[in-house]
Chains A and B, each alone.
Chain A
Amino acid sequence: MEDQEIVTEFLIESSENLAQFELALVDLEKRPTDPNLLASIFRTIHTIKGTCGFFGFSTLEGLTHIAENILSQLRNGERRLTPDLTSLILETVDAVKRELVSIETTGKESGEGYENLRARLVQASNEKSIVEKAPVEKSVTAPPVGAGQSEAPLAALPVAGAPSVDTDVAAAESEKAGAASASHIAGFTIRVDVGLLDKLMNLVGELVLARNQIMQFNSGQENEILSGSAQRLNLITTQLQEGVMKTRMQPIGVIWSKLPRVVRDLATSCGKQIELEMDGADTELDKSIIEAIKDPLTHIVRNSCDHGIEAPAVRASKGKPAQGRLTLRAYHEGGQVNIEISDDGGGIDAGKVKQKAIEKGLVRAEDADRLSEREAFNLIFLPGFSTAEKTTSISGRGVGMDVVKTNVEKIGGLVDLTSRHGQGTTIRIKIPLTLAIIPGLVIDSGGERFIIPQVNLLELLRLEGEAGRKQIERIHDTPVYWRRGTLLPIAYLNEVLNLPANNAEAEAVNIVVVQAEDRQFGLVVDAIHDTQEIVVKPLGKQLKGLNAYAGATIMGDGKVVLILDVLGIGQKAGVLSEIREKARGDKAAADLSHEKRQTFLLFRAGRFERLAVPLSLVARLEEFPRERIERAGDKFVVQYRDQILELTPIASVLGDPLGTFTELADPTQVIVFSEGDQVAGLIVDQILDIHEESIRITKKSDRVGLSGSAVIAGKVTDFLDLPAVLRAAGEEWLSLSAKPASALRKAVLVADGSAFSRGLVRNYLELAGHPVIEAHNEADALEKMESVTVSAVVTSRKLPSLNGRKLVDEMRKRPALKEILVVELRDAGNDAAENLGGPFDAAVERFDRVGLLHTLQQMRDLQGMAQGSRVN
Chain B
Amino acid sequence: MSTMTTLETTSTGHDEGATLNRQYATFSIGPLFFGIEVRQVQEVLRYLELTPMPLAPDVVEGLMNLRGQIVTAVDMRRMLGLPKRKTGEAAMNIVVRSEDGLVSLLVDEIEDVIDVEAGNYEQAPAGLPREQREMIAGVYKLEGRLLLVLATDRVLQANFCK
Contact = CB atoms under 8 A, between A and B. Distances in A.
Interface stretch (A190-198, A255-263, A427-435, A533-541): A533-541
A554 interface: yes
B62 to A, nearest CB: 8
Nearest to A445: B54
B86 interface: no
A165 interface: no
A542 B65 contact: no
Given A540-B103, A546-B56, A559-B51, A554 B70 contact: yes
B112 interface: no
Q: Which of B52, B55, B60, B68 has the most CB of A within 10 A?
A: B55
A543 interface: yes
B123 to A, nearest CB: 26
Given A542-B72, A545-B161, A552-B70, A560 B63 contact: yes
A492 to B, nearest CB: 13
User: Taking each of B64, B70, B160, which has the highest tally of chain A beta carbons within 10 Å of its own beta carbon?
Assistant: B70
A558 interface: yes
Contacts of A498: 54-55
Interface string B66-90: 0011111010000000000000000
B150 to A, nearest CB: 16
Nearest to A555: B65
B125 interface: no
Contact of A539 (B49, B54, B65, B72): B72
A603 B123 CA distance: 76
Interface in A407-451: 446, 448
Interface string A200-237: 00000010010000000000000000000000000000
Contacts of B64: 560
Contact of B101 (A446, A540, A554): A540
A545 B68 contact: no
Interface string B123-148: 00000000000000000000000000
A453 B146 CA distance: 50
Interface string A535-570: 001011111111011001010001111100000000
Contacts of A540: 70-72, 100-101, 103
Contact of B160 (A446, A542, A559): A542
Contacts of B69: 537
A534 to B, nearest CB: 12
Nearest to A546: B161
B160 A448 contact: no
A539 B70 contact: yes
Interface centre among A209, A446, A539, by most chain B C-beta atoms within 10 angstroms, is A539
A862 interface: no
A273 to B, nearest CB: 47
A292 interface: no
A549 B51 CA distance: 13
B56 A554 contact: no
Nearest to B63: A560
Contacts of A171: none
B55 A552 contact: no
A289 to B, nearest CB: 22
Contacts of A209: 68
A206, A209, A499, A542, most chain B CB atoms within 10 A: A542
Interface in A613-669: none
Interface in A507-547: 537, 539-546
B161 A544 contact: yes
A460 interface: no
Nearest to B162: A545
Given A545-B161, A546-B161, A562-B51, A537 B70 contact: yes
A543 B56 contact: yes
Nearest to A568: B55
B70 A548 contact: no
A781 B158 CA distance: 49
Contacts of B51: 448, 552, 559-562
A548 B162 contact: no
Interface string B3-41: 000000000000000000000000000000000000000
A560 B101 contact: no
A157 interface: no
A539 B162 CA distance: 15
A572 B54 CA distance: 13
B68 A542 contact: no
A446 B54 CA distance: 10
Contact of B60 (A206, A543, A552, A572): A543
A43 to B, nearest CB: 54
B53 interface: yes
Given A448-B54, A559-B49, A560-B70, A543 B65 contact: no
A541 B65 contact: no
A548 B101 contact: no
Contacts of B156: 542
A556 to B, nearest CB: 12
B2 interface: no
A497 interface: yes
Nearest to B59: A542
Given A498-B54, A537-B70, A544 B63 contact: no
A545 B159 contact: yes
B54 A206 contact: no
Given A558-B65, A559-B65, A562-B63, A542 B52 contact: no
Contacts of B160: 542-543
A545 B160 CA distance: 9
B63 A546 contact: no
B91 to A, nearest CB: 17
A448 B55 contact: no
A533 B60 CA distance: 27
A539 B68 CA distance: 13
A206 B68 contact: yes
A560 B68 CA distance: 9
Contacts of A543: 53, 56, 60, 72, 159-161
B58 to A, nearest CB: 12
Contacts of B53: 543, 546, 549, 562
A552 B70 CA distance: 8
Contact of A560 (B55, B65, B162): B65
A546 B55 contact: yes
Contacts of A545: 159, 161-162
A759 to B, nearest CB: 36
A541 B159 contact: yes
A548 B103 CA distance: 20
A542 B60 contact: yes
Interface of A: 206, 209, 446, 448, 497-499, 537, 539-546, 548-549, 552, 554, 558-562, 572
Given A498-B54, A542-B60, A552-B70, 14 more contacts: A448-B54, A497-B55, A537-B70, A540-B70, A540-B72, A541-B159, A543-B161, A546-B56, A548-B55, A554-B65, A559-B65, A560-B63, A560-B64, A560-B70
5 contacts: A499-B54, A544-B159, A546-B53, A546-B161, A560-B70
Interface of B: 49-56, 60, 62-65, 68-72, 74, 100-101, 103, 155-156, 158-162
Shortest Cβ-Cβ A-B pairs, 7 listed: A497-B54, A545-B161, A560-B51, A540-B72, A560-B63, A546-B161, A537-B70
